[in-house]
Amino acid sequence: MEMEEKLSALLEAAKAEVSEAETLKEVESLRVKYLGKKGEVTSVLKGMKDLSPEQRPVLGKKANEVRDEITALLSEKRETLEKEALEKQLAEEAIDVTLPGKQVTTGQTHVLTQIMEEIEDLFLGMGYQVIEGTEVETDYYNFERVNLPQNHPARDMQDTFYITSDILLRTHTSPIQARTLEQHDFSNGPLKMISPGKVYRRDTDDATHSHQFHQIEGMVIDENITMADLKGTLELLAKKMFGEEREIRLRPSYFPFTEPSVEVDVSCFKCGGKGCNVCKQTGWIEILGAGMTHPHVLEMSGVDSKKYGGFAFGLGPDRIAMLKYGVDDIRNFYLNDQRFLEQFKRKG
């Protein structure tokens, strides 16, 4: 066959085959078949060496045209196939924008932490330091240094979890009193501190008792501190927690580390003092224990009790939260049930 006719026949065959190709893979093998190193068009070109010098340029031109045309056919087919594949993929992956999105849930600061932070803010504003203690404490600091020697009857009320015979889970935040007193340098000014944290007692858990709960200890020691300072401070606290119109009253009580000791009541925030179910018809709600620091507690920490004195108080954030939000079972705070906790989501 004349070489020129051969080229024309190759072009026709390529056109037919390319138009029938259905995959990119097939297109690629057609490229190899016609234009590859050992391909059909290439082999025709190789045969040119046998032609006469006049025939060569004519055939060379024709071969180039055929090669260009097949190249164009192949790339056109490739584009069409790629476009089809993309359209198919898009159709299959279509996103339904009307479907509901995935819900992302966020947690919130625990209601007890919120109460403690609020109280911390109040006292920080009055120049107190916030001191953290440890939940594992020695018998010595938990009891002896706050005037509860071995065999003191008041120890019975605070039985706890013992780690060894003299290391225990603290029953109150009061050991912080001794720990800060012995560190404090009074030449730098008065001692004013609060200390929030967890405490433990061997209580049978019920609606108002949990073996783990919280306390905030407070203490101010300086020259010339009186009970009026204690009352004024606690009145501010009561107003901050329960509203501006609240009043407090002090009732005599007993704690080994304060003398005199008081129980502090706040006027009922629900009925304003007339009597209701929250205040058990008395108009008053007990919120904390306090008193003037016992001189012996100061002396045991190396503080001169003739020169320095002051007050201490201990309050329970769990009880405050229960009163404030009408929670009737303390154990709710410790179950980590999101349905309960999310009610106390702080705004902003």
259 labelled as ligand-binding? yes
31 or 201: CB nearest ligand PHE: 201
Query: Which of 45/176 has CB closer to ligand PHE?
Result: 176
In the shown chain, the binding pattern of residues 270 to 309 toward ligand PHE, with x for contact by CB under 6 A and - for none, equals -------------------xxx------------------
Residue 172 engages ligand PHE in binding (rule: CB under 6 A): yes
Q: How far is the CB of 343 from ligand PHE (least distance, A)?
A: 28
Q: Which alpha helices (H) appear in 36-54, and where do they start and end?
A: 40-46
Single out the residue of 210, 258, 301, 332 in contact with ligand PHE (rule: CB under 6 A): 258
CA terminus-to-terminus distance, the chain:
89
Q: In this chain, which residue has its C-beta nearest to ligand PHE?
A: 314
Q: At what angle do helices 3-20 and 24-35 cross, to 10 degrees?
A: 170
Determine, following the binding rule CB under 6 A, whether residue 160 of this chain makes contact with ligand PHE. no
DSSP-assigned beta bridge partners for residue 168: 137, 162
Quick check: 191 and 221 in contact, CB under 8 A?
A: yes
Report the alpha-carbon distance of residue 217 to residue 172 in Å, rounded. Answer: 8
String of DSSP letters for 276-344: -TTTTTSSEEEEEEEEEEPHHHHHHTT--TTT-EEEEEEE-HHHHHHHHHT---GGGGGS--HHHHGGG
Nearer to ligand PHE, 66 or 262 (CB): 262
Q: Is 333 in the site for ligand PHE (CB under 6 A)?
A: no
Residues annotated in a binding site for Mg(2+): 259
Binding residues: 259
Residues at the contact surface with ligand PHE, assessed by CB under 6 A: 172, 174, 217, 255, 258, 289-291, 312-314
